[in-house]
């Protein structure tokens, strides 16, 4: 049975664990939260995470990754992976994003994260999206990383994973300062693209990168 969660909007009286409690009352046990990081940046991959938390756990402070400091995210990342029943991470690179568009790339990363779970979930809670042809009951929740603790956990895993990747890319392409902006379209990043052109990590179909396609392609610095 699919619950009509996708029609619910943020309300001040709804707690983050409302959805999980409701599903448990219907007999679901392996409830999987799914979220992504990196739909909006001009460079780098989109990363999705799937996390199944125990019904009862001792992790304190799980919330939308965007509301947490980097240090807090890192600490929670370790705790989530330690206590999770199962977790998986899907990564789709910028070239694939350019080929199939960012929405399809995000859905692909989510499917990858599901395929890497060691335990099959019996219900999916997904931030804002629905996965077609999955065969598992699911609900797409608007603002889900604020309303569902399992989606919030997935948002942390996805965000930390992607940030670490962008830190590695910074070492390869220091001229873009990926460590600071993580590939997002900040003024600094636009200025760097204007100065250096784009590199192989940039999403060339994205506005702001597309305008620089006549600029020279930057390879790894020696």
- State the pLDDT at residue 93: 98
Taking the C-alpha atoms of residue 133 and residue 148, their distance in angstroms, rounded to an integer, is 23
Report pLDDT for 213: 63
Predicted pLDDT at 4:
44
Helices in the chain by DSSP H: which ranges? Answer: 18-25, 70-83, 94-100, 102-115, 144-147, 149-172, 178-181, 187-196
Q: Is 93 exposed, middle or buried (0-12, 13-18, 19+ CB in 10 A)?
A: middle
Tell me what pLDDT residue 23 has. Answer: 92
Handedness of CA 180, 181, 187, 188 (dihedral sign): positive
How many CA atoms, within 13 angstroms, populate the side-chain half-sphere of residue 7? 3
pLDDT for res 200: 95
Residue 207 confidence (pLDDT): 86
Local confidence pLDDT in tens for the 222 residues of the chain: 445 444 433 332 233 478 998 999 999 999 999 999 999 999 999 999 999 999 888 888 998 898 999 999 999 999 999 999 999 999 999 999 999 999 999 999 999 999 999 999 999 999 999 999 999 999 999 999 999 999 999 999 999 999 999 999 999 999 999 999 999 999 999 999 999 999 999 999 998 798 776 555 555 543
Residue 14, class by beta-carbon neighbours within 10 Å (0-12 exposed, 13-18 middle, 19+ buried)?
middle
Q: Which domains does the chain have, with CATH numbers?
A: 4-163 (3.30.420.10), 170-212 (no CATH)
pTM over 0.85: yes
- Chain-centroid distance of CA 155 in Å reads 5
């Amino acid at each position: 049975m699919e619950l009509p969660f996708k029609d619910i909007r943020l309300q001040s009286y709804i707690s983050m664990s409302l959805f999980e409690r409701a599903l448990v009352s219907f007999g679901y046990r392996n409830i999987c939260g799914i979220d992504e990081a990196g739909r909006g940046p001009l460079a780098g991959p989109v990363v999705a995470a799937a996390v199944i938390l125990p019904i009862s756990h001792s992790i304190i402070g799980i919330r939308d990754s965007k509301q947490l400091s980097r240090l807090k995210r890192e600490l929670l990342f370790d705790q989530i992976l330690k206590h999770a029943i199962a977790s998986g991470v899907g990564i789709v690179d910028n070239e694939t994003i350019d080929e199939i568009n960012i929405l399809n790339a995000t859905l692909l990363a989510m499917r990858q994260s599901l395929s890497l779970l060691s335990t099959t979930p019996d219900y999916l809670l997904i931030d804002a999206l629905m996965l077609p042809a999955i065969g598992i009951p699911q609900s797409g929740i608007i603002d889900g990383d604020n309303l569902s603790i399992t989606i919030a956990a997935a948002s942390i895993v996805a965000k930390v994973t992607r940030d670490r990747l962008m830190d590695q890319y910074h070492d390869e392409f220091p001229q873009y300062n990926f460590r600071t902006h993580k590939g997002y379209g900040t003024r600094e990043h636009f200025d760097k693209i204007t100065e250096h052109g784009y590199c192989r990590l940039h999403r060339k179909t994205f506005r702001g990168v597309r305008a620089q396609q006549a600029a020279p392609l930057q390879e790894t610095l020696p």
